Structure 1
């Protein structure tokens, strides 16, 4: 319970009708969740407009309405507050309703196209082993200490996020590591959240179905760093061609990491094997369990954040040498006949290319690389031919299949992927629409020591088809097929 006038701090009001000296029970953006004493905030979303549900919210007991456009008819018993941007308003209101939880935590945000989940998860694991009680907000799952809270979005909505941070404060967490998606930044989900640090991984074409242009996608990502305070730190990948641009307007203290040039946190790969990476980190040689150049960058970002948070270098590197990656990120299983199966979340052209380049470097001889890959429905269509081309270029055999087709026809998605193929590539691929059958086909084609990549879904335990989420786990299916063919 809070006073309405208290949670309106920092909310820019255009018009007020009614009293503001009211008790507020909760804040809702879904009219179906409204009960007596709720504040209902009418969000203009990509699918529906909350202003269409104001009457429904009042009917369920909402005492306060926050809107961008005042209704034609105002009810005497209801307080109406008009603002320019309800998404921005609800973020500020939730921050104050939950007693400004981010100010009581060391909250580090991770943004970029690829690597967010791995970096946030590694930081959570590292700082837990350093003796802190930590929170994690990620695509795979949210955690409060050792308690798992299921994740529905990369970054929760503004109310859920503030509620989650509040629960972390109440549980005694000192550090929280959080993925920050471009959608979350654009939709004000992280507005009013106070970060002590931010990390930029890289940026490649993604989410153009939402942001429309690559320049807009970059601008939104950059906005996160522009908003960091001077007391915070900002760490960026100097090897990404936009790594410096991301930090050019930030007030935070700037740091950079790199494998190829002089930087605050400098790494060099000495060996890249299936057993892990041997690399130097600021001239200290360490053997890590993580595999691949992309994980070398993740290691440097995590190490840099730990240094900025005041931890001991020797202790950090010792613990990091024992850490494993997030679920579904270069997650591998080896069959009895020594076929290597790798499950990875790679669902962008850049991520798929990184994984396949890593596999190429791990090859010891003439092993085949067999890739099973699809593209998600209702998402950026420009990725489809590009991902198909990359898969065929860097694999010996490729099977195109369904990812999460959502509302689209998976056959049509595969046809759009095929448009990216030249005549040579067309000789390498086949299409198997059913994902389980595609994995089965790949295993049947594999010989001992071949490397089989199942890309796109990683940690996900479902496949979304026509609005229904069906149970599906790439790694479990891969193990099942290994057992089937080795009986």
Structure 2
């Protein structure tokens, strides 16, 4: 691609360099820059990309998009000076990858909790319908059945466009994308054509970044002005109720979903067991029966979001209901681990007070024995959620095992001690075991008949953030290994 094509697409301050530059790709990582690449110097959480322009040029970058030219690289390359490299990256990537979002039907899902589950429910629906689909989100990117590891819930703009282009090449017809509030604030989905938006809920989180709940809400709200077809809004959530009313008053299309409040798509008469939840479903006056295989009210709400999106996209009601009945569940989201220990062991991503509350509410509906929860809290993130999570654990559980969960540069024992203050508020019993693998083994080894053990927070997250490095970590493998060891110890496995 000739550089003139890019220059015609951008508002820029100045360009210094050759007029016959050929562009092939785009990156914001100087280590990955190659001949023909555009290197975009963005401000990250810990580093300023302008410091790495020299490295990018040495590696072959043919064009640098930046706010200013550092003294050490003046006249050493081709430079495009812009007001916002992030905004420019989204535009350039869209052009380089030939506007892929216009060739794939895209549903964007935003909210504090439930994003991953909703995207995988949608993929399950379209798998049932026999259509190729992809996912971009917390658990990585899926291009049909190929999985690609990613670092963020919503990748940077250039990566999003690249993954969408891969989907186009693979004849994927639908993409289900988790859209984080960070992504909406940092231009990661600029120039992405989104057909349907889903709002799951909004509870206290990420205030280290947004500072206030109002800022957090306004960031999420941006998604619903980008959609081409419709928006699906959970009006049982107080912020969702507000959002729905604001969108309708502004003439923006929206379909409401809910259980407790009146809604266009409404579930009622929920019956929950360990094996799932059955309910009555009313779709704008049409009555149906439905079932989902993951138990709990929160699971039904996620299913309503997925149902609403598929319905808005024109799928038949009975087909969607049949698909939801066949979906086994989402890996690491209220996933029940098989065992012979006469107890229930659940793996879940709950890592906020609201997420933990919803999981515990569900467990309460079927628990027969003790309730044991194992969890921690992230270091250098919203400190105010630690004690509230402890309060929920202390209120609901017979034992809370407090452990490490991405401590970063904080002392994990100090983090656990702050959580413990909340547990103590309800006179709850707790034990601090910093090494998470040891904590999991302890929880399972000390299980009794009919216990329900919840391993919360890590789920499928593939690392422990220890500050200086992200250490590979696999909670599913660790838990399954502990189960087998203890089964052998108790003589119920050969």
Q: When the two structures are superposed, what TM-score results if normalisation uses the length of structure 2?
A: 0.92
In the TM superposition, what is the alpha-carbon distance from 1:56 to its structure 2 partner? 3.0
Correspondence 1:236 to 2:233: yes
Q: 1:471 to 1:18 in 2, by over 3 A?
A: closer
The answer for the alignment partner of 1:394 in structure 2 is: 396
C-alpha separation between the residues in 1 aligned to 2:345 and 2:259? 28
Q: CA separation in 2, counterparts of 1:439 and 1:275?
A: 24
Counterpart position of 1:27: 26
Distance in 1 between residues matched to 2:199 and 2:318, nearest whole Å: 24
The equivalent residue for 2:260 is 260
Unaligned runs of 5+ in 1: none
Aligned to 1:407: 409
In 1, Cα distance between the equivalents of 2:351 and 2:256? 26
CA contact (8 A) 1:101 1:165 kept: yes
Deviation for aligned residue 1:275: 1.4
The reply to whether residue 310 of structure 1 matches residue 314 of structure 2 is yes
Runs of 5+ in structure 2 lacking a partner? none
3-state SS of 2:125 partner: helix
1:354 is matched with: 358
In 2, the alpha carbon distance for the partners of 1:271 and 1:138 equals: 30
Alpha carbons 1:139, 1:179 under 8 Å: kept: yes
Give the C-alpha shift of residue 296 in structure 1: 0.7
Deviation per residue, 1:301-330 (Å, 9 max, x gap): 111111101011111101111112221100
Give 1:66's aligned residue: 65
State the distance in 1 between where 2:333 and 2:481 align. 20
Residue 410 to residue 73, structure 1, CA distance change in 2 (3 Å): closer
Shift of 1:77: 6.3
Tell me what 1:420 maps to.
Answer: 422
Look up the match of 1:111: 110
Q: Which residue of 1 aligns with 2:450?
A: 449
Match of 1:17 in 2: 16
State the match for 2:293 in structure 1: 289
Q: What residue is the counterpart of 2:326 in the other structure?
A: 322
- 2:166 match: secondary structure: helix
Calculate the aligned-residue CA RMSD, in Å. Answer: 2.0
| 1:463–1:469 CA contact under 8 A, matched in 2 | yes
For the 8 Å contact 1:7–1:94, the answer to whether it is kept is no
Cα distance between partner residues in 1 of 2:59 and 2:251: 45
- For residues 410-439 of structure 1, the C-alpha deviation after alignment (integer angstroms, 9 at most, x for no partner) is 1121122223344543x4112111112222
Distance in 2 of aligned mates of 1:36 and 1:318 = 50
Deviation string, structure 1 residues 19-50 (Cα, Å, up to 9, x no partner): 45531122221222223332221112221111
CA distance in 1, matches of 2:7, 2:121: 37
Cα shift readout 1:126-147 (whole Å, capped 9, x = no counterpart): 1122011111112113211122
After TM superposition, give the deviation of residue 407 of structure 1 in Å.
2.6
Contact 1:42 1:50 (8 Å CA) reproduced = yes
For residues 79-122 of structure 1, the C-alpha deviation after alignment (integer angstroms, 9 at most, x for no partner) is 32221111010011001100000000101100000000000011
1:139-154 correspondence runs (5 A): 139-154=138-153
In structure 2, C-alpha distance between the alignment counterparts of 1:269 and 1:146, rounded to whole Å: 36
Q: Which 10-residue stretch deviates more, 466-475 or 260-269?
A: 466-475
With 300-309 and 34-43 compared, the bigger mean Cα shift is at 34-43
Q: 1:373 aligns with which of 362, 372, 375?
A: 375
**Preserved CA contact (<8 Å) 1:68 1:85:** yes
TM-score, normalised to structure 1, is 0.94
> What residue number does 1:439 align with?
440
**Residue correspondences, number:** 481
C-alpha contact (below 8 Å) 1:8/1:92 kept by paired residues: no
1:481 corresponds to? 482
> How far apart, in 1, do the equivalents of 2:45 and 2:435 lie?
30
1:128 aligns with 2:127: yes
